[in-house]
Homo-oligomer: A and B are copies of this chain.
Amino acid sequence: MKRTAFFISDGTGITAEALGQSLLAQFEYIDFEKITIPYIDSVEKARSVVERIDKAAAIDDGKPIIFDTIVNSDVRAEIRKSQGYMIDIFGTFLEPLEQELGSKSSYTVGKSHSITGKASYNRRIDAMNFALENDDGARTRYYSNADIILVGVSRSGKTPTCIYLALQYGIKAANYPLTEDDIVDQRLPEVLRKHRQKLFGLTIDPVRLQLIRNERKPNSKYASIKQCNYEVEEVELIYRRERIPFLNSTDYSVEEISTRLLMMTGIERRIS
């Protein structure tokens, strides 16, 4: 059984893709070829998409499934002429929403990506620069500007989390690696003690950590299971003793670590 799924949008297609993927993941025994077609913002462009859909329909074992987030109803109507089965997100929900809200929608193409607003955009890029410049303990003197400071052993997921927090939520996140020196001292470095209320710990399963480190530095002491066990154990002790909230990142994606961190800390997103 082979079917094609189209994610079609007048913008980036990221929302249509995310939603479509969620729904299709529920049908694990069907093999979908997934095609994202962004920036379909005119009837002419829609016509060429219809051709692609109809070609797939002629070959596949069933109608192509279309997930679309196109705002303009003329463009949607054009897509509807295809041989595909349409999951029409705006078409389905916009009218009931208009009734519930007692207000007409503005049908403005591009409006759907509020993230492009200049203020939000600058906040995200500033936060990203902050994450890059304050990565891995490289610089500590701007910690007073940080919304959060991630701590953890090397390769526990700090950097990707900081960058995701910046990009998705405009949050300024620094990170500081806890090393053997800190562990031997049995106390937090001075520079972190001053910002205790901003600290958030990551931890990780030592076996997983070993695998990750071994890809970086094969057969090193750094990547030995003994060293990984030792560092993780000691760092978790520090978290508990210092009452630093922490999360085990082993089974989580960057998105999951970030959203759970927001829940646990109550930090506000900087873009809306």
| A residues apposed to B, CB below 8 Å | 3, 11-15, 18-19, 21-23, 25-30, 34, 38-39, 62-63, 65, 69, 71, 85, 87, 89-90, 92-94, 96-97, 100-103, 105-108, 111-116, 121, 124-125, 128, 132, 135, 159-160, 163-164, 167-168, 251-256, 258-260, 263, 272
Could you jot down 16 A-B contacts, CB within 8 Å? Answer: A13-B259, A15-B19, A19-B69, A19-B89, A21-B114, A23-B112, A26-B105, A28-B108, A30-B101, A39-B260, A65-B101, A116-B256, A128-B160, A160-B167, A164-B167, A167-B167
Complex: A160 Cα to B113 Cα, angstroms:
18
Other A-B contacts than A26-B105, A28-B108, 20 sampled, CB-CB below 8 A, are: A14-B255, A19-B19, A19-B69, A25-B111, A25-B114, A26-B94, A27-B97, A27-B103, A30-B101, A34-B272, A39-B259, A62-B100, A62-B102, A113-B255, A113-B256, A121-B253, A128-B159, A128-B160, A160-B167, A164-B167
A69: which B residues are within 8 A, CB to CB? Answer: 19, 22
Integer count of this chain's copies in the complex: 2
A101 pairs with B62, CB closer than 8 A = yes
Minimum Cβ distance to chain B for residue A12 (Å): 4
With both beta carbons as reference points, the residue of chain B lying nearest to A21 in the complex is identified as B114
User: Given A34-B272, A38-B259, is A93 in contact with B23 using a C-beta cutoff of 8 Å?
Assistant: yes
Contacts of A260 in B (CB 8 A): 38-39
Contacts of A255 in B (CB 8 A): 12, 14, 113, 115
A132 and B15 alpha carbons, distance in the complex (Å): 26
- A100 (CB) vs chain B CBs: closest residue: B85
Selected contact of A106 from candidates B3, B27, B128, B252, CB within 8 Å: B27
A12 to B106 Cα, complex, angstroms: 29
**Contacting residues, chain B, for A21 (C-beta < 8 A):** 112, 114
* Chain B nearest Cβ from A219, distance in angstroms: 20
Known: A39-B260, A63-B100, A100-B63. A253 touches B113 (CB 8 A): yes
Please determine whether B18 and A128 come into contact, CB atoms closer than 8 angstroms.
Answer: no
Bound-state CA distance A25–B28 (Å) is: 33
**Most-contacted residue by chain B among A12, A14, A124 (CB, 10 A):** A12
Partner of A14, one of B27, B101, B128, B259: B259
Residue from A3, A93, A251 whose CB has the most chain B CB atoms within 10 Å = A93
